[in-house]
Amino acid sequence: GDSVTQMEGPVTLSEEAFLTINCTYTATGYPSLFWYVQYPGEGLQLLLKATKADDKGSNKGFEATYRKETTSFHLEKGSVQVSDSAVYFCQAAGNKLTFGGGTRVLVKP
Amino acid sequence: DTEVTQTPKHLVMGMTNKKSLKCEQHMGHRAMYWYKQKAKKPPELMFVYSYEKLSINESVPSRFSPECPNSSLLNLHLHALQPEDSALYLCASSQASGEWETQYFGPGTRLLVL
């Protein structure tokens, strides 16, 4: 069946550090891929998405590229802020909707 | 208006109670979803409605009963819940579910079953 694997957190960084969160998926066909962010006490918000191979999604300084050959959709940001502290979820939307386990990110001043 | 609203924000209920969660969107979306999220876990899909018809039920126990009265509203009726049903219940909507689209999530209802 479909599955999404994310690196386990928590990931603790200092402000202005580089952030990478790995995401790999297993799915039949060509799923659309999403990154969602969840701030404490809130629902999920779309961060970015990509619908086909080699597409790059970007938003608020975050980027992820749909890599079909490695079945990956790693999230990156070049310089994180304290306000980026949240839980990040990777989602594959193919035959079904599948979330990864989530990665908690804590950015310290 | 890109907002999904959920009421109530918090709910405490006993195992013999009957209660309902409500979700509303005015974005013209035709797909609506219920998810259950336990602490430090990803959301688990429960139900999907597409054009007001139930299209996906992820083998959810019958003590959870969804209802979609119209294209803007989604309810989740709760009856005879167990303490392990305590969780954050998230509603989401999207343009349609024929091809999976971006989901817009509400803030959730935090449910405690005593």
pLDDT digits (tens, 9 = 90+) for A32-88: 999 999 998 889 999 999 999 999 999 999 999 999 999 999 999 999 999 999 999
- The C-alpha atoms of residue A94 and residue B12 are separated, in whole angstroms, by 36
**B36: closest CA among B97, B106, B100, B108?**
B108
How close B52 comes to chain A (CA, Å)? 19
Chain A positions touching B104 (Cβ under 8 A) are 46
- Give the torsion through C-alpha atoms of B87, A104, A6, A55, to 10 deg: 110
Rounded Cα gap, residues A1 and A9, in angstroms:
24
> Are A37 and A62 in contact, with CB atoms under 8 Å apart?
no
Reading chain B (114 residues) residue by residue, the pLDDT tens digits are 669 999 999 999 999 999 999 999 999 999 999 999 999 899 999 999 999 999 999 999 999 999 999 989 999 999 999 999 999 999 999 997 666 789 999 999 999 999
Residues in B touching A21 (Cβ below 8 Å): none
Flag if B102 and A99 touch (Cβ within 8 Å). no
Q: What is the pLDDT of residues A22-32, one digit of tens each?
A: 999 998 888 99
When scoring A97, A98, A105, A106 by the number of chain B Cβ atoms within 10 A, the one with the most, hence best to mutate, is A97
Among chain A residues, the shortest Cα distance to B42 is held by: A101
> Cβ contacts of residue B61 below 8 Å, gap of 6+?
none
